[in-house]
Amino acid sequence: PTFPMIALIVGAIVNAIAGYILIPKLDITGAAISTTLATFVLMVITLYELIRLTRINPPYKDLIKLFLL
């Protein structure tokens, strides 16, 4: 039960730091980039935990193609 809380705290910290850096320079676009970056970090942390718990080997090539499109 502590993993979701820790992952959300990490995401919030990333969002706060990125927002502090990007918002003064890019205004609302900086806020959007900051939130997107924090959500991506949260997704990567969650994906790592999912792989660790289920011991599956996801198709990394397909995932990379998905993120690059």
Question: How far is Cα 30 from Cα 19, in angstroms, rounded to an integer?
Answer: 7
Band (32; pLDDT cuts 50, 70, 90): very high
Q: What is the mean pLDDT of residues 36-61?
A: 90
Q: Which helix (H) or strand (E) holds 64?
A: helix 60-68
SS3 content of the chain, % helix, strand, coil (to 5): 90, 0, 10
Q: What angle do CA 49, 47, 20 make, to 5 degrees?
A: 100
Give pTM, 2 decimals.
Answer: 0.79
Summary mean pLDDT of the chain:
92
Q: What is the mean pLDDT of residues 15-30?
A: 97
Whether pLDDT at 6 is above 90: yes
Band (64; pLDDT cuts 50, 70, 90): confident
